[in-house]
Structure 1
């Protein structure tokens, strides 16, 4: 069923961008939400799903809606680092070397089928993902702002693929798994793809997105929420500490401290998307699987028994209780004392969402 067209004049620009994407993409609400979270939190997103689920189209359509420069890199086994970051070219006329920047210098970079690239190419991508800069020869070039890498990978075909190094996987803030659409959603997909559909319109500018990132940075996080994020990550390293000793044999390594950091950063972005300027424990919990599933290193026993990261995270999320804190009142008191925010802003921040 097609949603009723909203009054775009009264919408938040991010809602407008989401509406534009939904004109092309049917369903996949979790994926679209995670893409916006990664954008706001300045993280990177790894999307895993079988072919034909519109992973590439979703990312490309979002790039069209939010503005900024978009580049797609099709990763193949014969790719070399220079194809991604650029290289030095000798100019015979001037007798000097000039730098030709690669496609990674864009606001949104789509690394399509990233696990098909060899280790050297993946390592070249690592610096720009973490440091937001690239070194070519003796010169360093900064990536544009905003900058986001969205990578896709196919989980069902291993021929001609290279496993991502743990160091690079850890650089992705979120790993989102997407599945098949429902029958009704697939009907709409087929209907749209076999007729002329309306393309996404550009509703944002890069400068606006940078401003939204700054507003996300200002989202208040109660110490209890930070403690909850730390307890979730710690529970994957010592499951016996939360009453789950049987899980220890399935885990070689738990989530790193970077998981705790990204739980809070992503939680702030999700709170901003939900119309609040303070984060709740539920925001962290809703993103816990996406933040931690790719940071767990499973034992051979888990692999032999067909146990995946989500199978281990589910009991951890049940065992680690969410804090019960009067976050609305505390945020209201903190905001009034520190910034003297306006009544309208306070009402929005402490609304029913």
Structure 2
């Protein structure tokens, strides 16, 4: 197959270009593709010729993103929009059923969508703490339901987007839903560590069961997206199936998110969302990517820079914890993977 490269436009003094192999004929599903890192991941995959499904919670925003992708490139692969709410397992199942009915193998799944540091404890429709339920369990269930289509592809990949915050994460199997105590950032950190444990365990299962799936993880470093701002907005009003906790907790969480938001707006010490998407694209398309690999910015402390191999936190190498979290996730979601 001929190889085509798609140059990444430089964004600021730390801009870097990566060569993306021709993706023609491949079907990619990218969650959270209407904005930020997910949008640029989807855009550059489409520019490389992939057929891309923008898996988004808000259909109107997804259609607007698809229009921007089509308008900003002379030729792209087909771009479509499908709605899925990762905080609702019924929605995840419905989304997967549409793809299963179509029957087209899924060559690439990018588990990108997420929520960050919601100031007060909220739950998903299924009763899970919102960050753990969306960032980890929603993607766990989606991957499991799409497994037949992934296995049907010739060289399938699953890329799960984590965060530098995973280094501070701690998994408490007795308090996965933060019912006993809730703090915004520790809950987020735990969900991002869960992403890494999931990516590692998926690769081990793929190797053991000979599924042929390459599972990798990526993180965007310190990138300027609206993720920091979207979390606090969820705390301003309680929606059905979600509850908030004390006003004091909300105030402290809001102050933490405001400080993080100010930091991310600084051009020095952070990078654009487009640059933040490069590690995901490397993991999704790179010829030298290895199963179980982890990729992020190659600069000091992995904050900014050209995409490179990232340092896996020690907690993410805990095989026993990965297996126990996997079992718990199957039980919580009701989605099982073939043993």
Normalised to the residue count of structure 2, the TM-score between the two structures is 0.30
The structure with the larger Rg is: 1
